Amino acid sequence: MHVLVTGGAGYIGSHTVLQLLQEGHQVSVLDNFSNSSPESIRRVIELSGLSVNLHKVDLLDEDLLKATLVSAKPDAVIHFAGLKAVGESVSQPLKYYRNNVTGTLNLLDAMGLAGCRTLVFSSSATVYGESVALPLVEATPRSATNPYGRTKLHIEEMLEELGASDERWSIANLRYFNPVGAHESGQIGEDPQGVPNNLMPYVAQVAIGRRDKVSVYGGDYQTPDGTGVRDYIHVEDLAAGHLAALDFLRKSVGVHVWNLGTGAGSSVLEVIDAFRRVSGQPVAYEIVDRRLGDVAESYANPEKARLELGWKAERGLEQMVEDMWRWQKQNPLGFEADHLLEPTDEEIVAYLGRE
């Protein structure tokens, strides 16, 4: 099938594009490269030996978006494109509502025009807000603690209302827990710009010597070692969840929701220990105050996805860290060496070496 992937040059998108190609799908990537580089797609092409149609389009450019969808005529869309930095969403909320909510509205209009009504959407466990009843099931009441989370919540609601109004739509809201790791080749992975906000990329940069020490946000939570517990999921398992959801949507209309997590939590200190073991490097840390808005523990009940999609996460913490470490070692500065900032269409074509 022909799948159009918005945000396909980004972290989770690039891993999913590679799996789609390897499963025999035709893939079009649509990205504005605001947080990514065409280098990720060049590497996906190299790893797969297959081709990708790459479109430099901003979801906020309605006319170009419509023209692209109408001419591409995809059978399905996987929608990763969005802004995701929680702190930035607090200081620039309108930027997040415009990009994430308006961007998605534009995409839905363009899909309708192109006659494509199958959509997989990147939601997040952030829609569970400060819920304390664990493990988190899909029926847990939703709330948001910051503008980023609220954009995900609004989009989920918008998609539910769209599905209820027009039964031709098949939609999956996938709630990711904490995506980490990288492709086993070490060729593609997460390339955070500036200081990483998330734990794993930060720890990886301490292990490689780019940063001095990890600040552990809180050592007095009601958890086994006092530090925060999260459900880390390997990005390859997460990508496979998208293919399973697409398969489900082929046979079923309506709006569906699935947690994509492992069901098991790891603490901050367990993550640091795993990095020390795998890298053989010292990873210095210091326990500091809790971070505002953090919950003590968050982990999924992934049973619904197992039963309905036949999907479950296969990789454990050790492998997540091994793959992340390989990516970090092979690309100590991420894609930076080859980074093209705001490339033009001509530069992208030249870069990928194809018409």
Q: Which is nearer to ligand UD1, 167 or 289 (CB)?
A: 289
Q: Closest Cα partner for 267 from 232, 309, 241, 314?
A: 232
Q: What is the 3-state secondary structure (H, E, C) of 13-73?
A: HHHHHHHHHHCCCEEEEEECCCCCCHHHHHHHHHHHCCCCEEEECCCCCHHHHHHHHHHHC
Binding of ligand NAD by 322 (CB under 6 A) = no
Binding of ligand NAD by 298 (CB under 6 A) = no
Q: Which of 62, 184, 217, 276 binds ligand UD1 (CB under 6 A)?
A: 217
Q: Which is nearer to ligand NAD, 124 or 298 (CB)?
A: 124
- Please list the residues that pair with 54 across neighbouring strands: 29
Binding mask 52-81 for ligand NAD (x = CB under 6 A): ------xxx-------------------xx
Q: Which of 135, 179, 181, 265 binds ligand NAD (CB under 6 A)?
A: 179
Answer with the entry of ligand UD1, ligand NAD, none that 103 interacts with (C-beta below 5 to 8 A by kind). ligand NAD
Q: Which is nearer to ligand NAD, 103 or 135 (CB)?
A: 103
Residues numbered 32-91 forming contacts with ligand UD1, rule: CB under 6 A? 86
Answer with the entry of ligand UD1, ligand NAD, none that 7 interacts with (C-beta below 5 to 8 A by kind). ligand NAD
Q: Closest Cα partner for 46 from 14, 76, 24, 80?
A: 14
Q: Which of 96, 128, 169, 176 binds ligand NAD (CB under 6 A)?
A: 176
Q: Which is nearer to ligand UD1, 22 or 92 (CB)?
A: 92
Q: Which of 14, 118, 124, 205 binds ligand UD1 (CB under 6 A)?
A: 124
Provide the CB-side half-sphere exposure for 281 (13 A, CA). 22
Residues numbered 147-166 forming contacts with ligand UD1, rule: CB under 6 A? 149
Q: Residues in the chain, how many?
A: 355
Q: Which of 126, 205, 259, 279 binds ligand UD1 (CB under 6 A)?
A: 126
Q: Closest Cα partner for 250 from 162, 118, 156, 121?
A: 118
Binding of ligand NAD by 265 (CB under 6 A) = no
Q: Which is nearer to ligand NAD, 219 or 305 (CB)?
A: 305
User: Which residues form the catalytic set?
Assistant: 148
Residues numbered 13-32 forming contacts with ligand NAD, rule: CB under 6 A? 13, 31-32
Q: Which of 28, 178, 266, 328 binds ligand UD1 (CB under 6 A)?
A: 178
Q: Which is nearer to ligand UD1, 40 or 298 (CB)?
A: 298
Q: Closest Cα partner for 238 from 18, 3, 9?
A: 18
What is the distance between the alpha carbons of residues 128 and 143, in angstroms, rounded to a whole number? 6
What is the distance between the alpha carbons of residues 98 and 39, in angstroms, rounded to a whole number? 27
Helix residue ranges per DSSP H, the chain: 11-22, 38-48, 62-72, 86-91, 93-96, 103-114, 147-165, 199-207, 235-250, 268-279, 303-309, 317-330, 345-352
Answer with the entry of ligand UD1, ligand NAD, none that 35 interacts with (C-beta below 5 to 8 A by kind). ligand NAD
Chain residues in the site for ligand UD1 (CB under 6 A) = 86, 124, 126, 149, 178, 197-199, 202, 214-217, 228, 230, 268, 291, 293-294
Chain residues in the site for ligand NAD (CB under 6 A) = 7, 9-13, 31-36, 58-60, 80-84, 99, 103, 122, 124, 176, 179
